[in-house]
Amino acid sequence: MNMDNMLSNPKKRPLCDLTNVEFERKAGNQHVSKVGNNDVSCLMPQVLSADERPCLKVDDNEETKSAKDILTQNIHPALAMYHCDGRASPNVSWTQLQHLLHPDEEDALYQFLTDQGLIAVYQQCEFCGSTMNKVREGGRLLWMCRRMMRGSKCNRGKKSVKTGTIFADSKLTVQQIVSIFYHFVHRLSETQCAQYVCISSKSPKTLVKWYKMCREVCNAWFWDPANTPKLGGFGTIVEMDETYLPGQPKYHRGRRLGTTWKPEDKWALGLTQRGSLDAIVKQVPFNRARHHLVPIIESHTLPGTIYCSDSWKGYVNLPQFVNLEDTSHFTVNHSKNYVDPETGAHTETIEGMWKHMKDFLPNGMTPKDAESYIGVFLWHRYCKQRKLDVFVHFLKCCASIYKPTQFCLPSASMSRMPKQQPPPYDDDFES
């Protein structure tokens, strides 16, 4: 078929158009100019040698190898928004994780976990007090004392590197547990994680236990007063609203009827700062009375905050009940409009957050797990607002919650003994 007829007739398209290729004319000759790359090799990571493997970037100050010519798979292949490019990513990519979990790179993995604080930097021998070294013995990495005593090594008190860490008391390998952490922070289900970690799906209790522990870590770290973000400030708008957690049942059937939920678990109060992803969500009783809402608002906002809410009776005269200075409150009546025509007050930001949160919560969520899933949702928003690597930040959260035990002998101290007094003179003894 003539190429001119194919290009002029829109119904007769060349086969190359299916591969995102555009035909152009140049100097009377036909040539192909590629709009998109149809090479399938760009969809898979390259197999690199040990010298060419991309080094793990944790600190921006560290000198790392240039990754311009290294193709990395930055997104987990099981994610819906899958893409692959050759640009260097500040986060731990899927390719870097696979290199780190390789059996030949076990020493690099332990060093990476030590840098994140999950494994102790050093251990002290409980018998001689000397600093123990990491020694590989029988395929395992052990803490072992090599101090020479009377012509022989101490070699006592040796123990596994996993002892006293989050990896102890588990039949899974360190590589499998680290892989579980990576899948959890990227929001893969237990079933998807079992396929990549090579854990039998017939006994899902192991993954369920580890996923529950991961949620506990996120909640414990986020709700620590030192880490929980304070919202608002002078001239900053904080929107607040309540939501019904069980959701709306379909045809008045299913688990979302709320019949298994206690009255104090059905409703949640949310606070979010406009222009930021920082948010606070707390479960409140079903009556949503003022004496339940005000303490939450007061403890998580700063003086000078501008509050925006709907016309719920629990918010009436809010600045008078909040023990914060220079606060103001604007309301919008949702029965009339969504944006107040006079003040411009609205709650569209937090309404959008409710939509994202309920998409994040799993289907069939039980009331006892609602608080933990909400904490994970807020933890993800905290990381996204500060552009943190969720995997590296999660490891640091684990290190702060499950601190590795480090044995240290008590420091010796010297003190002068009190001078003994001579015994009293006894006349009867000499007589």
Residue 291: CATH number of its domain? 3.30.420.10
Structural domain including 17 reads 3-38
Q: If phi over 0 gives left and psi between -120 and 50 gives alpha, with beta otherwise, what is residue 144?
A: beta
Q: Tell whether 250 is covered by a domain.
A: yes
Separation in Å, CA 207 to CA 13, 113, 186, 366: 51, 21, 15, 18
Could you tell me the pLDDT band of residue 284, with boundaries at 50, 70 and 90?
Answer: very high
Of the three residues 371, 388, 405, the one that is the final residue of a domain is: 388
Q: Tell whether 69 is covered by a domain.
A: no
Contacts 24+ apart (CB under 8 A), 258-261: 260/366, 260/367, 261/367
- Look-up: residue for tokens 């079992």? 194
With b for 16 or more beta-carbon neighbours within 10 A and e for fewer, the 218-228 pattern comes to bbbbbeeeeeb
In this structure, the number of other CB atoms found within 10 A of the CB of residue 178 comes to 22
Q: Tell whether 22 is covered by a domain.
A: yes
Domain count, the chain: 2
Beta bridge partners of 281: 270
Q: Tell whether 123 is covered by a domain.
A: no
Q: Tell whether 54 is covered by a domain.
A: no
306-346 per-position pLDDT tens digit: 999 999 999 999 999 999 999 999 999 988 888 988 889 99
Q: Pick 341 or 155 by higher pLDDT.
A: 341
* pLDDT given at position 414: 60
Tell me the pTM: 0.75
Tokens encoding 162:
């996993």
Q: Tell whether 286 is covered by a domain.
A: yes
Half-sphere exposure at residue 178, Cβ-oriented, CA atoms within 13 angstroms? 26
390-422 per-position pLDDT tens digit: 999 999 999 999 988 766 666 656 666 676 666
Q: Tell whether 253 is covered by a domain.
A: yes
Q: Tell whether 306 is covered by a domain.
A: yes
Determine what percent of the chain is predicted with pLDDT higher than 90.
39
Could you tell me the pLDDT band of residue 64, with boundaries at 50, 70 and 90?
Answer: very low
Query: What phi, psi does 32 have (nearest 5°)?
Result: -110, 130
